[in-house]
């Protein structure tokens, strides 16, 4: 045993010791949960299907991505380094499966589902596509992009179009539907599209997903450390895809993706089908005093607690008949707000207040119909919701 | 009708208009809930039984106290202006019931229980005492303090000793138990004591409460606006008394106080009887993966979510037999933390890891016994708790 | 000496002791300075000329206003309770000079200039007007508003129109110039106008101030505690009037107001004459590397430090000839940002980069002409500024 | 030209476009300056001489370190990957000079001085040593550590002992001075020591540096992204070495290090020689009203503004004769605080206050002697400072 090897053995021993010292410190490493409720018997998994590491043009080692995902409250993610674009190749030996292999033990120890993927990085068309749930990424390095996609398809991958309106590939920032995409869709090789990528939202892609029944995705496409890209202290978060899955497993996520059970979460915005957004809203909201007494034209506050982390921005959709309610109100996340209502009474010349309509006495069910403008069921179209109240109308003493 | 009256009428009209304009803006006024769970079939009401207004030496109008209480997530409070000390009397007409009368409509509109009270403000002994649930505060202005207390008692008041170790009355900052207090206690005129007042905690008073079975209270004794005294953005909160009550009503709060069902909440500290603190801890904690597999001496993380806003600071009370667990760990509020454990195996010279004891195979129930040092069941004595895990021990591959 | 008096004497002694105890704690009470530089040989005093207390419809005792002013980094303020509107009069003895008398000792101890004022509170026209630098507020309580203003004028007051576009008095939220205002202006009884009141900005009033040479003011009109109205932790601040005064004294402030030396500071906006805004900008900005070498079309960063607390939002006003510079850039307050520039070179077919114009070699003075869109010299008109750089153009190696 | 090469060419074009798109976004990337003033005609450079990348056991690409350094307000740093410990070597081709080569262009573009270094990573003794200002790191990979150090010395390196009390190498956490260190010191091969490493401070090393005249260093030893290791939103910062240098250049930093002109900045602590700490304190402090009038025993506030980002924690060192001043006071960073003083007068039985000593009339220079307990000139020894005030003593009216 030569001197250097002996030295190394000692170094390794240090490493073991350090590892255990760090474990003790690491107890303090805490995960912030994403506060969006489960719905419809599914778990609402928080996922990011588009991330990079030093193995392509990212700035971080693969394990760090798993650590970030856990700390930020996500449940599953895919490592999707560029296949054709590897600027660090003078220093890093290219092996497209390594990011997954390196991050896998940590992800498992954290209870995070890690999905193997790769980004097919071509000029437009077809642009950039992610293939995830791959068995082996290496064969996707081909001359022709058509071959790469076919190989991914053969491995059972879920394939989606990344940032279709990316300015580097669409100078006007608006995605174009080409015959190449049409072809891929027909061959079941275009299973999803990024309606949201990093800081961008593509309304035209949103529309296509609804029309063509393609799964909607929102991903970070992160290259830097997450807390450099997002200011968590200001409440920022990475864009993510909420996946309605039976459990947190690769199979359940895959099933949900192929069946379109996703909602996109970007800034203070949720994007998805009404059938998913409505129960998310309803499971978030608690009307604390749903039964109120309205005396004359006195204002009464309905107190509403929103247990989610989203500020729901409501706009009155249809004026209720018997009462006045605010045109706009924001139900702040993790806060209780007052929604002030009062009976529509008129003052007589004798200053006695009377209900505007004769039958406005006794108890009555009141529907407050609002649209939630930041729960998007289509471009610029907010989710319609109803707040239900029981009101008892009384004359003022 | 003279010119001035006409003018005034118009002013009043403005006021009405302004009122409605402000209503619209006020929708944004949001309440932050205090995240401490209900227990034992009771609601855990967040209360402050010691507050001041401009009617004695406070800096704010009574309605503001009600607004603050709502915004800060409290459920009930008492206005307890000094009876004998009224430095604003050159400008304010003294009427000891006015603070309650003025704040009452707003408190009611917010769903807050407002309790009428007054602070009997005398030299030591007996020092300062609050009488709450009074019917009429005015008769308490008497020459002799004994009379004031008797009148409060006759009105059915709950009477408690304020800041017993206050340096202005106890130069060493340590409360003294005098014959006056003994006398009051015998006459059932000393129903509670402030173990916590503003920023101070009195361990000796804590001890007396346990020995003599007196209700423990923690109050703000606030004079300034609350957000001047406490930096909410840094997570500070006013000290409060948690009251285990059947509902949020004056009667239910009174019943709980006379029966000692209180816990004090100060900074990151809860002070109270184990019978109340234990269910608060248990209702706050969720072990996400209570069943773990321990291979060789591999570290496994038990993930624990704490839904309360308190950071529970745990210290290992008794080392478990079969596994290693951290000496100290903090379960951060609204966060998930990893508690890392591993089997107590030893390495043989042949580098094969084996359990230290023969019977350490198969599944086993593990009790992790910790003390929560910031849940105080007596001065410097943390609440003992147990985290229960099912472990399956396996050999390393 | 009867028992009660004896008691009181003891209470008073406590008060003295408490006072000194609090002094010790109060060392921690710290003032946040407003970071806007002095200019033109004047001190730039931070002032608020419109505040309320419990003596009219405010929620706080007068001393608290002085404390807030000091803590928030202001230098001078006026107490301007409503004269005609006193909703607390059942409890507070009305004396229009009392707020000033009560707050005066604390203001003095803090080094704050406190100005005596009152708000003439009438229907529109003339609406609400503040008279400040009054000697005695009481005589302003008159039947006719014309008399009140005349009395203020006779006392040498600075009189300004409050919130001219206030919705309670102008249902469309747009101020109207009436003959009453015209008359007051002629009589030198309308010396200033609130271009900004609380959260509102009135562009039409801004325009009138410029046309008619009336002093521009921005005030808080605060009724609540300041930290309830403004979220300081999020960087919010009360609207204020910056006064270019020779020193911090009542006389110097008065002189500046009568001579129109004011700038309004609202959110991230400064409003004022270019002659004041330009030196504020220039005294805030430091170009760290004003001499740069531009090789080929390589990007070079000019680093700019902004020592003020305002984020200057720059838009390119005129494209420079020889270089490319960003269309938009924000110079963040108390931050250094990179303004990236590069020479306008074109690539020849042989891939050699050459300057677009022959004479683009050697050193050259470059003027970067921007408009600062949040330094308003008129409604929607940003201040033009020039960043001066010396560039040396070189061929790429 | 085959299809793949053609594809690659297009990819490269995208990269160029993306680069320019990002430039536009990057304008918002802002640098927070470290607020510690220049002193003694030197610039006080903020430096970190111990950082890691993926090239040893760090988690980030070298360029990211340069970006972080700029954003956090530092001026110079060294990349010091482990030489003997390279856990990523299965994926990364080991070349000890590459981290420097990769990060160098970005550092230059940001105006940051990047220093080439390496960490000699051996068991204790001699433990871990950093060699910086190396010309070529590769030759330092030797069997014997003595050879590695000699090679570094021959290249003119500045060599310092890292984390001498690191628990992985000193189980009790206390550094030991061995004959190996003594030997190195004699040979001028031990030029500095880390008194602070990451979160640790070694008082025994602090003492040795003073006794043996060795340069004191405080470094981050960072492996993770900086904003994962430090919560900037809470005001945390990486530990750094403040270097008093003639300019920001490699030569000037080297000269300062070899001449011991350093101060360590850790949390809210500065550690260094009094000759450097005193001017840092004095250049940070402004007494706003250094001339005060003391009437009777009235309290007067001296207002002190601290322009640095450090909260100076003062403890009264010697009671002044003629006045009372607070025992403890914290001069908060970027805040103005009130230091309350009053004359030492006594009350006569006739209640007239008189100075305690006869000569206490007229103007007098007052020295307030404090120690700044968080400016450490030796272990547990705060820097003595004097606040100078001119007081005029008057009788109370």
DSSP B133-188: S-S-SGGG--SSHHHHHHHHHHTT-EEEE--TT-TTTSTTS-----HHHHHHHHTT
Region B228-238: mean pLDDT is 92
pLDDT level of residue B23 (50, 70, 90 thresholds): very low
- Report the run of H or E that residue D371 belongs to, with start and end: strand D362-378
Distance CA(D334)–CA(D71), nearest Å, equals: 20
Question: Tell me, what's the pLDDT at B151?
Answer: 98
- Facing A11 at nearest CB: one of D4, D84, D102: D84
DSSP class of A273: -
Is position B278 within any domain?
Answer: no
CB-count exposure of residue D349 (10 Å: 0-12, 13-18, 19+): exposed
Which residues of chain C are within 8 Å of residue B4 when distances are taken between CB atoms? 143
Pick the residue from chain B with its C-alpha nearest to A332. Answer: B30
The answer to whether C64 contacts chain B (CB < 8 Å) is yes
Chain A positions in Cβ-Cβ contact with residue D60 (cut-off 8 Å): 59-61, 64, 225
Q: Which run of H or E residues covers position D63?
A: helix D62-71
User: How long a stretch of residues is chain D?
Assistant: 397
Positive or negative torsion for Cα D77, D83, D85, D87:
positive
pLDDT band at B102 (very low <50, low <70, confident <90, very high): very high
What pLDDT score was predicted for residue D200?
A: 96
CB pairs A-D closer than 8 Å: 122
Structure tokens at D191: 């030029």
Q: Which of C110, C328, C335 lies at the smallest CB-CB distance from D31?
A: C335
Residues B299 and B174 in one domain: no
Q: Which of C241, C272, C303 is the last residue of a domain?
A: C272
Q: Report the alpha-carbon distance of residue C88 to residue B163 in Å, rounded.
A: 32
Q: Is the distance from CB of B269 to CB of B70 less than 8 angstroms?
A: no
CB contact under 8 A, B335 and A33: yes
Q: Write down the pLDDT at residue A42.
A: 98
- Tokens describing residue C115: 């100005």
Q: Are residues B264 and B289 in the same domain?
A: no
Check A91 against D88: CB less than 8 A apart: no
> D7 vs A227: CB contact, 8 Å cut-off?
no
Angle at B281 between CA B275 and CA B285, to 5 degrees: 150
Which residues contact residue C291 at a Cβ distance below 8 angstroms, ignoring those fewer than 6 apart?
C389, C390, C391, C392
Q: Measured between CA atoms, how close is C259 to chain D, in angstroms?
A: 28
Neighbours of chain D (3+ CB pairs under 8 A): A, C
Contact D338 C29 (CB under 8 A): yes
Chain A residues lying within 8 Å of D2, measured CB to CB: 143
Check if C4 contacts B (Cβ < 8 Å).
yes
Q: Assign 3-class secondary structure to B275-326.
A: HHHHHHHHHHEEECCCEEEEECCCCEEEEEEECCCCCEEEEEEECCCCEECC
Which candidate from B27, B303, B330 shows the least CB-CB separation from A28?
B330
pLDDT of residue A16: 46
Residues D210, D302 within the same domain = no
Contact C91 B98 (CB under 8 A): yes
Contacts of A336 in chain B (CB under 8 A): 30-31, 33
Q: Which helix or strand (DSSP H or E) is residue D316 part of?
A: strand D312-318
Inter-chain CB proximity C27 and D300 less than 8 Å: no
Is A337's CB within 8 Å of B28's CB?
A: yes
Statement to judge: residues A257 and A317 lie in one domain: no
Q: Tell which of A219, A244, A272 closes a domain.
A: A272
Query: CA nearest A192: which of A159, A165, A224?
Result: A159
CB of B168 within 8 Å of a chain C CB? The answer is yes
Three-state secondary-structure class, residue D335: strand
**Measured CA distances, B153 to B135, B147, B257, B258, B380 (Å):** 11, 10, 15, 13, 34
- Nearest chain A Cα to B20, which residue? A299
On chain C, the residues whose CB falls within 8 A of the CB of B123 are: 7, 10-11, 14
Tokens representing residue D143 in the block:
């069997």
Q: Name every chain A residue with its beta carbon within 8 A of the beta carbon of B335.
A: 30-33
Same domain, B226 and B364: no
pLDDT tens track for D290-339: 999 999 888 899 999 999 999 999 999 999 988 999 999 999 999 999 99
Crossing angle for the helix pair C98-110 and C62-71, to the nearest 10 degrees: 30
> Residues of C with CB below 8 A from D27's CB?
326, 328-330, 337-340
Residue ranges in chain A whose pLDDT is less than 50: 1, 15-28
Distance CA(D30)–CA(C334), nearest Å, equals 9
Does the bond joining B149 to the residue before it have cis omega, within 30 degrees of 0?
A: no
Please give the structure tokens belonging to residue C12.
């008073």
State which H helix or E strand residue D242 sits in.
Answer: strand D240-245
Domain match, C207 and C298 both: no
Does the distance separating the beta carbons of A91 and D93 come in below 8 Å?
yes
Residue C250: inside a domain: yes
pLDDT, tens digit (0-9, with 9 covering 90-100), for D148-189: 999 999 999 999 999 999 999 998 999 999 999 999 999 999
pLDDT confidence tier of residue D345, bands split at 50, 70 and 90: confident
Coil, helix or strand for D235?
coil
- Burial of residue C265 (CB within 10 Å: 0-12, 13-18, 19+) is buried
User: Is residue C338 one of the residues assigned to a domain?
Assistant: yes
Min Cα distance A235 → chain B (Å) is: 13
Q: Please name the residue of chain B whose CA is at the shortest distance from the CA of residue A341.
A: B23
Interface with D, mutate which of A60, A102, A148 (most D CBs under 10 A): A60
Structural domains of chain B, count: 2
How far does A397 lie from chain B, in Å, by closest CA?
15
Q: Helix H segments across B40-90? A: 62-71
Same domain, C230 and C344: no
Instruction: Look at residue B257 and tell me if it is in a domain.
Output: yes
- Please state, rounded to an integer, the average pLDDT across all residues of chain B: 91
The predicted model scores a pTM of 0.93
Quick one: A268 exposed, middle or buried, by C-beta within 10 A (0-12, 13-18, 19+)?
middle
The closest of C238, C225, C242, C243 to C198, measured between CA atoms, is C238
The reply to whether A171 touches chain B by the CB within 8 Å rule is no
Output DSSP code: residue A224.
S
Global ipTM: 0.91
Smallest CA–CA distance from C66 into chain B, residue:
B59
Question: What backbone torsions phi and psi does residue C282 show, to the nearest 5 degrees?
Answer: -65, -35
The pLDDT tens digits of the residues spanning D254-281 come to 999 999 999 999 999 999 999 999 999 9
* Chain B from 295 to 314: CB within 8 A of any A CB: 299-301, 303, 305
Among residues A272, A305, A328, the one where a domain terminates is A272
Q: Give dist(CA D221, CA A22) in Å, integer.
A: 14
In this complex, do D18 and A60 lie within 8 Å of one another by their Cβ atoms? Answer: no
Distances (CA, A) of C108 to A162, C75, D303: 64, 11, 13
Candidates D98, D95, D157; CA nearest to D130 is D157
Q: How many residues does chain A have?
A: 397
Q: What percent of chain D has pLDDT over 90?
A: 82
Residue pointed to by tokens 């609601």: B43
- What does the H/E/C string look like for chain C? CCHHHHHHHHHHHHHHHHHHHHHHHHCCCEEECCCCCCECCEEEEEEECCECCCCCCCCECHHHHHHHHHHCCCCEEEECCECCCCCCCCCECCCCCHHHHHHHHHHHHHCCEEEEEEEEECCCCCCEEEEECCCCCHHHCCCCHHHHHHHHHHCCCEEEECCCCCCCCCCCCCCCCCHHHHHHHHCCCCCEEEEEECCEECHHHHHHHHHHCCEEEEECCECCCHHHHCCHHHCCCCCEEEEEECCCCHHHHHHHHHCCCEEEEECCEEEECHHHHHHHHHHHEEECCCEEEEECCCCEEEEEEECCCCCEEEEEEECCCCEECCCEEEECCCEEEEEEEEECEEECCCCCEEECCCCCCEEEEEEEEEEEEEEEEECCEEEEEEEEEEEEEECCC
Give the CATH number, domain containing residue D60: 3.20.20.140
Q: What is the pLDDT of residues D89-142, one digit of tens each?
A: 999 999 999 999 999 999 999 999 999 999 999 999 999 999 999 999 999 999
What's the pLDDT at A23? 42
Query: Which chains have at least 3 CB atom pairs separated by less than 8 Å from chain B?
Result: A, C
Cβ contact A30–B305 (<8 Å): no
C306 located within any domain: yes
Residues A42 and A188 occupy one common structural domain: yes
Using CB atoms, pick whichever of C30, C299, C337 lies closest to residue D336.
C30
Look up tokens 């806003």; give the residue. Answer: B309
| Cα D381–chain centre separation | 18
pLDDT computed for residue D321 by the predictor: 86
What pLDDT was estimated at residue B396? Answer: 72
Q: How far apart are the first and last CA of chain A?
A: 99
D18 interfacial to chain A (CB closer than 8 Å): yes
> Is D113 in the same domain as D191?
yes
Find the domain containing D252 and state its range: 33-272
Residue D352 in this model has a pLDDT that exceeds 80: no
Whether residue C379 is contained in a domain is answered as yes
Pick from A179, A343, D288, A279: nearest CA to C112: D288
- Asked whether residue B318 carries a pLDDT value surpassing 50, the answer given is yes
Measured between alpha carbons, how far is residue D172 from residues A17, B326, D125, D205 in Å?
13, 19, 15, 14
d(CA B116, CA B136): 8
Asked if D328's CB is within 8 angstroms of C23's CB, the reply is: no
CATH of the domain at B367: 2.60.40.10
Token pair, residue C310, equals 């305002």
Residue B118 shares a structural domain with residue B236: yes
CA distance D69 to D50: 12
Residue D350: pLDDT band (50, 70, 90) is low
Residue B128 has pLDDT above 80, yes or no: yes
Q: How far apart are the C-alpha atoms of B122 and D8, rounded to whole Å?
A: 87
In a domain, A149, yes or no: yes
Closest partner residue to C98 (CB to CB) among B7, B63, B91 is B91
For chain D, say whether A15 makes contact (Cβ under 8 Å): yes
Query: Chain C contact for B60, CB < 8 A?
Result: yes
Token pair 């580098």 is found at B351
Instruction: For residue D183, give every residue at least 6 positions away whose Cβ sits within 8 Å of its Cβ, in sequence order, or none.
Output: none
Is the domain of A132 the same as that of A253?
A: yes
The CA distance from D306 to the nearest CA of chain A, in Å, is: 26
Handedness of CA C111, C115, C116, C122 (dihedral sign): negative
- Top pLDDT among C137 and B320 is at C137
CB pairs under 8 A between A and B: 86
Task: Please tell me if residue A33 touches chain B, with a CB cutoff of 8 Å.
Answer: yes
Subunits adjacent to chain C (3 or more Cβ pairs under 8 Å): B, D
Which chain B residue shows the shortest CA-CA distance from A26?
Answer: B338
Query: Which residues are within 8 A (CB) of B169 and not within 5 positions of it... i.e. 6 or more apart?
Result: B123, B124, B127, B128, B163, C14
Confidence at residue D21, expressed as pLDDT on a 0 to 100 scale: 42
Q: How are beta strands D291-295 and D381-394 bridged, if at all?
A: parallel
Separation in Å, CA of C219 to nearest CA in chain B: 18
Residue-level pLDDT at B321: 86
Residues of chain C with pLDDT under 70: 1-28, 346-361, 397
Q: Say yes or no: C168 and C291 in one domain.
A: no
């Amino acid at each position: 045993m030569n001197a250097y090897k002996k030295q190394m053995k000692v170094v390794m021993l240090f490493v073991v010791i350090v590892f255990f010292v760090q474990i003790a410190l690491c107890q303090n490493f805490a995960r912030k949960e994403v506060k969006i409720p489960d719905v419809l018997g599914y778990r609402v998994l928080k996922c990011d299907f588009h991330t990079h590491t030093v193995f392509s043009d990212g700035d971080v080692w693969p394990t760090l991505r798993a650590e970030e995902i856990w700390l930020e409250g996500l449940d599953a993610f895919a490592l999707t380094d560029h296949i054709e674009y590897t600027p660090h190749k003078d220093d890093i030996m290219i092996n497209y499966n390594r990011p997954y292999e390196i991050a896998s033990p940590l992800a498992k120890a954290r209870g995070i589902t890690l999905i193997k993927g790769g980004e097919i990085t071509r000029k437009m068309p077809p642009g950039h596509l992610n293939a995830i749930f791959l068995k082996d990424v290496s064969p996707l390095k081909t001359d022709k992009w058509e071959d790469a996609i076919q190989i991914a398809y053969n491995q059972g991958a879920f394939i989606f179009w990344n940032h279709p309106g990316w300015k580097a590939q669409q100078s006007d920032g608006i995605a174009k539907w080409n015959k190449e995409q049409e072809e891929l869709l027909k061959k079941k090789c275009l299973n999803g599209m990024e309606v949201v990528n990093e800081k961008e939202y593509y309304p035209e892609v949103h529309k296509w997903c609804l029309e063509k029944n393609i799964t909607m995705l929102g991903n970070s496409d992160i290259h830097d450390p997450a807390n450099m890209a997002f200011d968590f202290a200001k409440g920022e978060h990475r864009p993510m895809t909420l996946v309605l899955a039976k459990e947190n497993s690769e199979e359940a996520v895959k099933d949900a993706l192929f069946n379109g059970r996703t909602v996109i979460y970007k800034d203070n915005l949720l994007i998805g089908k009404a059938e998913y957004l409505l129960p998310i809203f309803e499971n978030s909201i608690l009307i604390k005093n749903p039964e109120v007494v309205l005396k004359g034209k006195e204002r009464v506050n309905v107190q509403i607690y929103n247990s989610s982390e989203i500020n729901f921005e409501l706009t009155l959709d249809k004026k209720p008949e018997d009462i006045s309610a605010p045109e706009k109100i924001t139900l702040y996340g993790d806060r209780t707000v007052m929604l002030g209502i009062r009976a529509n009474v008129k003052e007589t010349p004798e200053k006695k207040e009377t209900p505007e309509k004769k039958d406005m006495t006794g108890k009555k069910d009141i529907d407050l119909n609002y649209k939630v403008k930041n729960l998007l069921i289509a471009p610029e179209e907010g989710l319609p919701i109803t707040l239900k109240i029981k009101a008892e109308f009384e004359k003022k003493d």
